[in-house]
Structure 1
Amino acid sequence: MIYIRFATVVAIAWLGYYFGTPVGLDIQWPLFEALRTTSAIVFGIVAALLALVYPDAVKNALRGGAPADENDGGLGRLVTPCGHSAMLLVALVVMAPLIAWLGTFNPNDVTGNAATIRKGTFSVFCVLSYWQIRILLMVLIPFDDLYTKVTVGIRRVRLRRDMHSNGRS
């Protein structure tokens, strides 16, 4: 499975590099900002949800207590996307000054190098966007499972209540 993911990242990077020539840094900058904002929102929401759903685990971890046991009840399903979002934010914050600096160059002065820079930064943007999509899927799939379990539980409670009463009133 790891080879398929690696091949996917390489293919996305190559496609971004191949098609990145016409996409200037002035166009790429708002895209990087949108990616940073999305990642920050996902990080904030998942971290808040983690603190709400698993407050004891968060308190224990902040106090330096014992790690959670192997049967964490889904804690890892929230910690993993939160960690990935944090790493993506760090990568974007580190890259921001570099991309801003590269945007100061006049493309007419260094035509060959400017095209390579545009291709490279767009390739990096494509890979980071793929990473953000994976993070969003890591968040959305457990939420869909949670929604399904909650609605089934509600239906089960209503059915039991209706069975033990004199029918629907």
Structure 2
Amino acid sequence: MKLKVVIGIACVAVVLFAGILGRNVAFALQWPLFEALRTTASIIFAVVGAWFAIIYPERLKKSFRGGATDNNGPGIHRLFTPIVHSTAILATVLIVGVVAPLLKQFDWILSHKDIFRGISYGLLVFLTLWQLATVLFSLIGPDMIKRHVSRQDRAEEAAKAVMPSRKDDSSQ
């Protein structure tokens, strides 16, 4: 729990520091980074969505048919989390892309553009850190598969160790 608090405090400090220093970074220089973030969020959304469809195909069918649902355990929620987070990040970047040009039309905004550049850059850093965490969460899918296969392999090895092979049975 202490590690989460330290990471949280460090992230807040980084975002605030980025907001302060980002006042000197023009939005035109920031926008390619927003676009890269949008692309990354889209990729994570697609990849994790594909894993979701591969790992839980029956669950998806039942969800869309409206049939009875069964509990697939906590794994389904852990795999779904990056999809939700990437969707929120993607939506935020899309909104920034629409709102920023509109805000540039107001004289008051232009007269305080350094403050808004800082806010924008702080938002960019916040979204980037959030996306970084989401990328790490997206590794849960392959890890779940690896652990499941590993458990199956260990179970098969244990069964082979206990059960005599067919060759031994035929010789008796």
TM-score with structure 1 setting the length: 0.76
Distance 2:166 2:24 in 1: 69
Equivalent residues of 1:78, 1:139 under 8 A apart? yes
Equivalent residues of 1:43, 1:86 under 8 A apart? yes
Q: Percent identity?
A: 31
Instruction: Give the 3-state SS of the residue equivalent to 1:21 in structure 2.
Output: helix
Deviation digits for residues 25-67 of structure 1 (CA, Å, limit 9, x no counterpart): 0110000000000000100111111111111000111122334
The amino acid across from 1:72 in the alignment is G
Q: CA shift at 1:147, angstroms?
A: 3.4
Equivalent residues of 1:19, 1:119 under 8 A apart? yes
The amino acid across from 1:114 in the alignment is K
The amino acid across from 1:60 in the alignment is K
Aligned to 1:77: 78
Distance 2:165 2:28 in 1: 66
The amino acid across from 2:125 in the alignment is C
Aligned to 1:39: 41
Aligned to 2:170: none
Written as runs of structure 1 = structure 2, the 5 A alignment for 1:12-161 is: 12-69=14-71, 71-72=72-73, 74-102=75-103, 110=111, 113-144=112-143, 146-147=145-146, 150=149
| Cα distance, 1:30–1:103 mapped onto 2, change above 3 Å | farther
Compare CA radii of gyration and give the structure with the larger one.
Answer: 2
Equivalent residues of 1:23, 1:118 under 8 A apart? yes
Distance 1:46 1:34 in 2: 18
Deviation digits for residues 89-130 of structure 1 (CA, Å, limit 9, x no counterpart): 111111211223446789xx63xx111011010000011001
Q: CA shift at 1:143, angstroms?
A: 2.3
TM-score with structure 2 setting the length: 0.75
Distance 2:10 2:101 in 1: 28
| Cα distance, 1:67–1:157 mapped onto 2, change above 3 Å | closer
The amino acid across from 1:87 in the alignment is A
Distance 1:119 1:43 in 2: 28
Q: CA shift at 1:76, angstroms?
A: 1.4
Q: Paired residues, what number?
A: 160
| Cα distance, 1:42–1:156 mapped onto 2, change above 3 Å | same
Q: Which runs of 5+ in 1 are unaligned?
A: none
